[in-house]
Chains A and B, each alone.
Chain A
């Protein structure tokens, strides 16, 4: 089984601030983990380290049995490409690309896709799965916040990664869209993907299998015993 393991991870910034103290966490395929906490608690730092956007000061990050600290830069890029999918609070869509083109961005460098027609077909499947078929040729500026975030989720799923990492995915959305996004993420975990969500939105409690509270860089116990 594929996993992301954080083992005794500590992150201290140059200014001396320690954002993570000896954090250990395992995300498996099919898990839906939510890390909650107040601003400045270190939850985003945890996501950054798990998603290889940043490196830890000490400890180990093991993705699919590979210790990433021992891995070369290009191999790290391959891990991001094939194993991880990101959903950001700010969507980070390209305003000059249509919906299907935004979804295709990760596919453009994936050698598993033979040609652009295949990529477009995949993009169409994803938009249909997420209820965006009618928006496929629209630009992000023509979409609502919820629709934009769903495009971002489709993009994150483009290369069928093992894990989806979402940083405050509902931060810019209204309550109706919040629920919709969490529902989509839940579907992903039920389909076998490992989902790690960082959020301070209480609505996630109804969807996550495991809920951890982060405080002052320390990860608490799972409070959601099902």
Chain B
């Protein structure tokens, strides 16, 4: 006998239970929204912590310094050997940052002439990025707080306003460097300290040599020309490479200037909330179905007295909640899309927007499917328990009261 013939009884059961079904649907919808939003934040947050923080390029770099008594040929040979190691992505001369002041009157604070780390994904907000073979070009931060000491004011300068201008930077030995600003970059990444003007590495190395020469080595580090940057493929291989290169040079890691603790705490709180929502969903489903079967004692007793078996009773109960639960999860997903677009994402942007922890939530079809499967599984178990309980219903309730 096909169970679909029992759909008539499912419909009658729903009609007799309209209020409870409405509450049930609202409950499932609300639970879906809460779980989807939680997942929508947890997954990208976890990904950000793992990829953008724990696996940040700074965490995958080693600064390597060769000894003074090593010749250039020896250094070259060592560099070649280190580059050939497994897990080493790149090794390149480490330019020194140069502190400079802008002489054309466009900017007043001190700035650092710096470089773009190899393998770093620099985000350009306006203009263009330079090619490493170019000369006389630079990138500025998209937002600059320029302190004018003589007037004691801070000017908030937009980097895009400087695009196309040629700025003149003078180092500590007054070596003047004219740099045309070709673009502005997002300086929110912790790899940047404030006020860095980025120029091609080769050009910065040339500026370093000039400063070294004009200062007789005073205004530049003693390891200039002997420092390299090693880029490793994954943070888990850093210690291995550190051990491998000790034969050739001294290698150490710069710490990442970023406090990830707060985000880890937020992640754990969100995971706790998600777990709570899941537990509430299970308890809620159980209570709804139990309450429903308790209210249907006469109905279920009648079915049993007519010869209905547990499989039939299960079909009626399960179908009733399955249909409405399914619709509620789908509706909840649509509502989540709206809530995320208008409330959650704007709020998250106000918290962590434009930083390496920037999060944008979105409803993922796999999350919706996972929630549906979870709902079906829990409903299945809960209905089975309810049907088992119904096997012990006192069928004499159908008879007149004694």
Within 8 A of A (CB), among B1-23: 1, 5-6, 8-9, 11-13, 15-16
A2-B301 Cα distance, complex, nearest whole Å = 26
* B400–A86 touching, CB < 8 Å: no
* A44–B1 touching, CB < 8 Å: no
Given the contacts A40-B402, A80-B307, A96 and B16 also touching, CB distance less than 8 Å: yes
* A92–B400 touching, CB < 8 Å: no
Within 8 A of A (CB), among B386-402: 391, 394-396, 398-400, 402
* B305–A105 touching, CB < 8 Å: no
Interface assignment of A77: CB less than 8 Å from any CB of chain B: yes
* B400–A109 touching, CB < 8 Å: no
A108-B5 Cα distance, complex, nearest whole Å = 6
Interface assignment of A39: CB less than 8 Å from any CB of chain B: yes
Given the contacts A44-B399, A44-B402, A89-B400, A108 and B9 also touching, CB distance less than 8 Å: yes
* B398–A97 touching, CB < 8 Å: no
A111 surroundings in chain B (CB, below 8 A) = 1
Least Cβ–Cβ distance between A72 and chain B, in angstroms: 11
* B8–A97 touching, CB < 8 Å: yes
Interface assignment of A66: CB less than 8 Å from any CB of chain B: no
A97 surroundings in chain B (CB, below 8 A) = 8-9, 12
Interface assignment of B298: CB less than 8 Å from any CB of chain A: yes
B309 and chain A: residue at smallest CB distance: A77
Our pick among A48, A81, A96 for the contact of B306 (Cβ within 8 Å) is A81
1/0 contact trace for A38-81 toward B, CB 8 Å?
A: 01100010011001011000000000000000000110011111
A96-B304 Cα distance, complex, nearest whole Å = 19
Which of under 10, 10 to 19, 20 to 34, or 35 or more describes the interface residues of A?
Answer: 35 or more
Interface size on B, residues (CB 8 A): 30
A77-B308 Cα distance, complex, nearest whole Å = 6
* A96–B12 touching, CB < 8 Å: yes
Q: How many A-B residue pairs have CB under 8 A?
A: 95
Our pick among B307, B309, B310, B394 for the contact of A106 (Cβ within 8 Å) is B307
Given the contacts A53-B305, A80-B307, A108-B6, A73 and B391 also touching, CB distance less than 8 Å: yes
* B16–A77 touching, CB < 8 Å: no
* Most B Cβ at <10 Å: residue of A48, A95, A96: A96
A96-B16 Cα distance, complex, nearest whole Å = 7
Interface assignment of B302: CB less than 8 Å from any CB of chain A: yes
* A82–B9 touching, CB < 8 Å: no
* A81–B307 touching, CB < 8 Å: yes
* B15–A96 touching, CB < 8 Å: yes
Interface assignment of B209: CB less than 8 Å from any CB of chain A: no
Given the contacts A44-B400, A110-B1, A167-B400, A86 and B305 also touching, CB distance less than 8 Å: yes
A119 surroundings in chain B (CB, below 8 A) = 5
A90-B308 Cα distance, complex, nearest whole Å = 20
* A90–B8 touching, CB < 8 Å: no
A209 surroundings in chain B (CB, below 8 A) = none
Least Cβ–Cβ distance between A15 and chain B, in angstroms: 12
Interface residues of B (CB under 8 A from A): 1, 5-6, 8-9, 11-13, 15-16, 298-299, 302-310, 312, 391, 394-396, 398-400, 402
Interface residues of A (CB under 8 A from B): 39-40, 44, 47-48, 51, 53-54, 73-74, 77-82, 84, 86, 88-90, 92, 94-97, 101, 104-106, 108-111, 113, 116, 119, 159, 167-168, 171
Mind listing 7 A-B residue pairs with CB under 8 Å? A48-B396, A53-B396, A77-B307, A81-B306, A86-B305, A97-B12, A116-B5
